[in-house]
């Protein structure tokens, strides 16, 4: 369904001496399925009011995915992820004939990968998924904190695996990337489902994307160095020191974001040139045995440091978003 914006103009009326009223557009009322006595939720976001027609108390949002042809299981999982982000309470996946085993397995893999979705019912040609996670009990800010801790341990374990030359530990970091994705999809979904942005959830969404990309760069470090055996101990030590520097920046950026410390945020932003300088120092070493690998690894480490400065800048935006009077001291 395609949605477009229609602008209505209404005159504010005063009734009863103290109550202000505005009439609703009749076409919108019909599309929303409202009748006399229906209730409407009104969300306040600054000077903007958002109307949400309540068409039934506790009514669940149900969606259906019909598969009428042969589909690739990877493509199916992508489609299911997009539907998950768009939000549903109940999702029915059905086929015109007997559901193939590859489709059934793809749906079950999807249910394991995302947060709060369980298989509710199965038949020969359908699977019903249900969202069982109450977002009131697990807010996007709780998800964001857990996500940031997961990313921190991924970077820390990557650093440890570099020092120990432990390829198994690197592989473990790579496998844990899916957990970070789960949080990012959940935050995306919950933010999209929220009509009002008055709780600043948009900043959680942006930060979750930064965290997801930071995790991806950490995984790339493991893949690059895990496949290389040419680097000397001295080169690995320099790359480890660089990652340790970026990890410290990451930790400081998250702490500054949560504590709303604008001075520390500003200090972090100023470190951007330091990140570039360290990378240049590593690559200018004439003793490097495998320059392409060192270049690729240092670029990924650089990105972790730069994303930390992005977090600091976002923190400043977040801090000042609802402040009318702010004192720098």
- Summarize pLDDT for 150-183 with one digit per residue, the tens: 999 999 999 999 999 899 999 999 999 999 999 9
Query: Hey, is 225 helix, strand or coil?
Result: helix
- How far, in Å, CA of 182 to CA of 235, rounded? 34
Query: Average per-residue pLDDT in the chain?
Result: 84
- How far, in Å, CA of 28 to CA of 34, rounded? 9
Token readout for 136 is: 């009131």
When mean pLDDT is compared across 5-9, 70-74, 190-194, 196-200, the lowest value belongs to 196-200
Look at residue 80 and tell me whether its pLDDT is greater than 60: yes
pTM above 0.85, yes or no: no
Query: Hey, is 218 helix, strand or coil?
Result: helix
Provide the CB-side half-sphere exposure for 56 (13 A, CA): 5
CATH architecture for the domain at 140-320: Up-down Bundle (1.20)
- How far, in Å, CA of 63 to CA of 88, rounded? 6
Q: Do domains 62-131 and 140-320 have the same CATH topology?
A: no
**pLDDT at 276 (0 to 100):** 95
* DSSP string covering 185-217: HHHHHHHHH-S--TT-HHHHHHHHHHHHHHHHH
Instruction: Write the class of the CATH domain 13-54.
Output: mainly beta
Residue 178 CB coordination number (10 Å): 11
Token readout for 101 is: 């085993």
Residue 228 CB coordination number (10 Å): 17
- Summarize pLDDT for 301-317 with one digit per residue, the tens: 999 999 999 999 999 88
Give CA separation, 328 vs 25, 63, 218, 254, 323, in Å.
Answer: 47, 50, 35, 21, 13
Supply the DSSP symbol for 48.
E
Q: In the CATH hierarchy, which fold is given to the domain comprising 62-131? A: Translation Initiation Factor IF3 (3.30.110)
User: Considering Cα of 187, then 190, then 191, then 192, what sign does the dihedral take?
Assistant: positive
- List residues bridging with 65 in a β-sheet: 93
Closest residue by Cα to residue 285 from 253, 242, 226: 242
Ordered by start, the domain boundaries in the chain are: 13-54, 62-131, 140-320
- Summarize pLDDT for 177-187 with one digit per residue, the tens: 999 999 999 99
- How far, in Å, CA of 104 to CA of 94, rounded? 10
């Amino acid at each position: 369904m395609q949605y477009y914006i229609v602008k209505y103009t209404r005159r504010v009326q005063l009734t009863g001496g103290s109550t202000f009223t505005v009439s609703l557009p009749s076409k919108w009322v019909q599309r929303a399925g409202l009748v006399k006595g229906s209730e409407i939720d009104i969300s306040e976001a600054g000077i903007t009011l958002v109307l949400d027609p309540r068409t039934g108390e506790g009514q669940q949002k149900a969606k259906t995915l019909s598969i009428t042809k042969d589909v690739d299981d990877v493509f199916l999982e992508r489609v299911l992820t997009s539907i998950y982000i768009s939000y549903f309470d109940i999702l029915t996946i059905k086929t015109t004939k007997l559901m193939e085993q590859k489709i059934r397995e793809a749906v079950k893999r999807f249910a394991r990968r995302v947060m709060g979705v369980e298989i509710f019912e199965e038949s020969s040609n359908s699977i019903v998924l249900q969202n069982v996670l109450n977002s009131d009990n697990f807010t996007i800010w709780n998800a964001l904190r857990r996500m940031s801790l997961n990313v921190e341990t991924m970077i820390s374990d990557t650093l440890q695996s570099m020092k120990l030359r432990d390829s198994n530990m690197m592989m473990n970091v790579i496998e844990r990337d899916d957990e970070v994705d789960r949080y990012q999809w959940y935050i995306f979904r919950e933010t999209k489902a929220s009509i009002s942005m008055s709780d600043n959830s948009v900043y959680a969404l942006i930060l979750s994307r930064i965290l997801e990309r930071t995790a991806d760069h950490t995984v790339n470090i493991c893949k690059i160095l895990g496949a290389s055996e040419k680097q000397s101990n001295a080169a690995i030590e320099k790359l480890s020191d660089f990652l340790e520097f970026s990890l410290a920046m990451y930790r400081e950026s998250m702490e500054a974001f949560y504590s709303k410390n604008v001075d520390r945020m500003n200090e972090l932003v100023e470190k951007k040139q330091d990140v570039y300088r360290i990378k240049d120092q590593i690559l200018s070493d004439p003793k490097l045995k495998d320059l392409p690998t060192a270049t690729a690894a240092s670029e990924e480490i650089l990105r972790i440091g730069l994303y930390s400065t992005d977090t600091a800048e976002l923190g400043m935006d977040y801090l000042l978003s609802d402040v009318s009077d702010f004192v720098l001291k």
